[in-house]
A and B are shown apart, each in its own frame.
Chain A
């Protein structure tokens, strides 16, 4: 009898296993150990995301954030590959502070920086852009990024136009100042020969640009921060009025060599440049423009420009090409960011 009881139990177990196993397989496919995570969403039950442990993701250089539905159980968490997993109850603290402050955070489980998601059912949450800092590093774009861009600047931008080999539009001139953008007529359209336009007039005539890169500060070194800011603000206002959908990138003033700085000709020294850059970063924040810390790749520890010959102010060809590498790797893809939330972030924490 005990023998037949045991046999019956074994048969019953086998039957149960035969029924249960496929169900389990459907519930937790491929097992959690390889990083497969079931996701219960109201609309798409048992969709699941596959994460490859050890491979940190990047979407334009910004790790995406995935919000799992609130009913997702922490017990379903696989044993590895989820360094950034956290829950509304704060099971893990490894979470981006910007994310944890967001009200949405409390509605579900946030996985910061997953590697790979093999489903379209998950909510890919956009990031919050911090206007208080410079444009963060992003995935490198190709030069077609600049085809609908406009570069405005002085002789340093002339050097960019000459050395970059990048097809774009350049409204720049030797000795141009930020005030000259409104008053210096030097641009000539091929379809309007003999008529010269200022930079702003030229933009008004042909307002097609989706990105504007603006860089001044050397020829204005003696103006003082307030005058420089006033003139810059006026130009930014005009650009935003004429090109409301364009991204405006404000380039930091590049430093000069210590030798040039010591000469202090017309106030051109690295202390003034530093003050200007602090102001430009504030201006970018106020006007919701993107501040590009283009000075950083070329700046020595003492804040001066590395001395590679030349006049100590202008970049040579190799440096300009390096500068464009920086620009290609510091772009803002508007699709990546939640601009309303970014605005909220500024109001709450800015």
Chain B
């Protein structure tokens, strides 16, 4: 009975680990160097956004998004009606960049509480994904990160 339980636990843990690895494609993307424009183009062409996204001027993006930990920053945004966007930031301290993107996500959730609140669920599917020295933030239309992740991985796999 005791053994049975332990085997069950080990099996469940292994299954969970497999699921985690499978969901990330089980692939290590730390060595790739994504190109911001190509990555964004891959996401956009995958049809995961409900509206057109346009790339912001770099200086304008800096003023609006800050992200001091990022040595380079590229942002694609939409009409202003939705939280759908792509942010691709790179720098030596990816943990700090990730923290800034988490803060950005939190701000967006606050913004879309009163403003166009019906858009807020999309933020539950925000993807923050690290590849090489890049951290990629993307919010698609579905409210699930799987579509966006799938499209992104499709692009990253081409770099391996």
The stretch that binds B, out of A81-89, A166-174, A290-298, is: A166-174
Would B64 and A170 count as touching, CB distance under 8 A?
yes
Would A316 and B63 count as touching, CB distance under 8 A?
no
Write out, one digit per residue, whether chain A residues 244-278 have a CB within 8 A of any chain B CB (1) or not (0): 00000000000000000000000000000000000
CA gap between A95 and B49 in the complex, in Å: 56
Would A314 and B79 count as touching, CB distance under 8 A?
yes
Determine if A162 is an interface residue (Cβ-Cβ < 8 Å): yes
Nearest CB of chain A from residue B87's CB, rounded to whole Å: 13
With contacts A162-B79, A314-B81 taken as known, whether A174 is within 8 angstroms of B115 at the C-beta atoms is: yes
With contacts A188-B68, A310-B81, A316-B79 taken as known, whether A170 is within 8 angstroms of B60 at the C-beta atoms is: yes
Shortest Cβ distance from A197 into B: residue: B63
A interface size (C-beta, 8 A): 39
With contacts A167-B57, A168-B57 taken as known, whether A310 is within 8 angstroms of B79 at the C-beta atoms is: yes
Determine if B111 is an interface residue (Cβ-Cβ < 8 Å): yes
With contacts A175-B115, A194-B68, A311-B116 taken as known, whether A159 is within 8 angstroms of B80 at the C-beta atoms is: yes
The stretch that binds B, out of A44-52, A63-71, A117-125, A150-158, is: A150-158
Partner of A155, one of B54, B56, B63, B81: B81
CA gap between A313 and B116 in the complex, in Å: 11
Q: Which of A312-346 contact B (CB under 8 A)?
A: 313-317, 320
| B residues in contact with A165, CB < 8 Å | 54
Write out, one digit per residue, whether chain A residues 177-193 have a CB within 8 A of any chain B CB (1) or not (0): 00000000011111001
Would A316 and B57 count as touching, CB distance under 8 A?
no
Would B54 and A188 count as touching, CB distance under 8 A?
no
Write out, one digit per residue, whether chain B residues 60-95 have a CB within 8 A of any chain A CB (1) or not (0): 101111101000000011111100000000000000
| A residues in contact with B54, CB < 8 Å | 162-165, 317
| A residues in contact with B52, CB < 8 Å | 163, 316-317
Report the number of A-B residue pairs with Cβ-Cβ less than 8 Å. Answer: 92
Q: Which of A131-165 contact B (CB under 8 A)?
A: 154-159, 161-165
Nearest CB of chain A from residue B47's CB, rounded to whole Å: 15
Would A162 and B66 count as touching, CB distance under 8 A?
no
| A residues in contact with B57, CB < 8 Å | 161, 166-168, 170
| A residues in contact with B111, CB < 8 Å | 174-175
| B residues in contact with A171, CB < 8 Å | 63
| B residues in contact with A315, CB < 8 Å | 79
CA gap between A100 and B46 in the complex, in Å: 63
| A residues in contact with B53, CB < 8 Å | 162
CA gap between A166 and B55 in the complex, in Å: 11
| A residues in contact with B59, CB < 8 Å | 167, 169
CA gap between A221 and B155 in the complex, in Å: 43
Nearest CB of chain A from residue B126's CB, rounded to whole Å: 15
**Residue of A154, A155, A189, A320 with highest tally of chain B CB at under 10 A:** A155
For the complex with contacts A188-B65, A320-B79, 14 further pairs of A-B residues with Cβ separation under 8 Å are A155-B80, A155-B115, A156-B80, A162-B53, A168-B60, A170-B60, A174-B80, A174-B112, A190-B68, A193-B66, A202-B63, A219-B115, A310-B79, A314-B81
Chain A to chain B contacts (Cβ below 8 Å), 29 pairs: A155-B79, A156-B80, A157-B80, A158-B80, A159-B79, A159-B81, A161-B57, A161-B60, A161-B64, A162-B54, A162-B76, A168-B57, A168-B60, A169-B59, A169-B60, A170-B60, A170-B64, A175-B114, A188-B63, A188-B68, A189-B63, A190-B62, A194-B66, A194-B68, A310-B81, A311-B79, A314-B80, A316-B51, A317-B54
